[in-house]
Amino acid sequence: MGNRINNLLNIKDNILSIYFTAGYPGLGDTVEVIEELVDNGVDLLEIGVPFSDPVADGPTIQHSNTVAIENGMTVKLLFEQLKDIRKSVDIPLIMMSSLNPIVQYGFENFCKKCKEIDVDGLIIPDLPVEEYIDNYKVIVEENGLRNIILVTPASTDERIRLVDENTDGFIYMVSSSSTTGENKNFTSDFESFAGRLKSMNLKNPLITGFGIKDKNSFNQVCQFSKGGIIGSAFVKAIGETQDIKSNIEKFMNQFN
């Protein structure tokens, strides 16, 4: 069997990916959040490793990171919580983390642990592609993981081609140059960026993130890419009441 990310990309369009912060709202909620999302039809999951200074995140995800750390979430505990996840979940799982917590844990150890619990990929937004190629690519590939790299409207064509050559999954297309969760409609800028990427005939498909908050904005990005990633809007939704199950059902209902 190939990597689950590649398998999904081969068989599906309009891929709904959701990001959540592990250990939020409660320390023990990680597995329940994953299983509820799978039950409600999510295609792909990004499990956020909380960090005190997340790079591109807006206030909602920053807040969830702070709460998760205060709750006591660590990389070690997260791996412990996920050790049996493949008994109940078979969709692709991606670990999303700043570089710092991974390096503190040990980059190679982190990748080995991902392989052990059968995680499919990594997203490390603050790891430049050049540094990835020089220092980390061999380790990631040895462990059968896909490293998903972000490109933005500010990325040069040269850099985008470098990303495309050095990844084998999807490219994370950032819809705009702002932080996550900013509540605005997609503009002609996004469409021209999508057009620019399309004209480059990249080998990897694109999935769009940043600013997607509901069914309507998800449908918009799916016209130009293989799918969309929702982060802030979902993180906000699961903290709305004490009942995580009903929060998730309510949020996911719009997509079903």
The pLDDT assigned to 176 comes to: 76
Indicate if the pLDDT at residue 218 is higher than 60.
yes
- Beta-sheet strand order (sheet of 44-48): 146-148, 121-123, 93-96, 44-48, 15-21, 227-230, 206-209, 171-174, 150-151
H-helix segments, 85-230: 99-105, 107-117, 129-131, 137-142, 157-165, 188-199, 215-222
Indicate if the pLDDT at residue 158 is higher than 50.
yes
CATH number of the domain within which 233 lies:
3.20.20.70
Residue of 46, 84, 120, 130 marked active site: 46
Look up the domain containing 105 and give its range: 4-255
Reported as a single tens digit per residue, the pLDDT across 8-52 is 999 999 999 999 999 999 999 999 999 999 999 999 999 999 998
46 noted as active-site residue: yes
Indicate if the pLDDT at residue 183 is higher than 60.
no
70 noted as active-site residue: no
| CB-neighbour burial class of residue 81 (10 A; exposed 0-12, middle 13-18, buried 19+) | buried
Indicate if the pLDDT at residue 150 is higher than 90.
yes
- Confidence grade of residue 2 (pLDDT, cut at 50, 70, 90): low
The pLDDT assigned to 26 comes to: 96
Residue of 29, 36, 57, 164 marked active site: 57
What's the whole-number mean pLDDT along residues 119-142? 97
What's the whole-number mean pLDDT along residues 179-187? 51
The number of folded domains in the chain is 1
3-class DSSP state of 165: helix
The pLDDT assigned to 199 comes to: 97
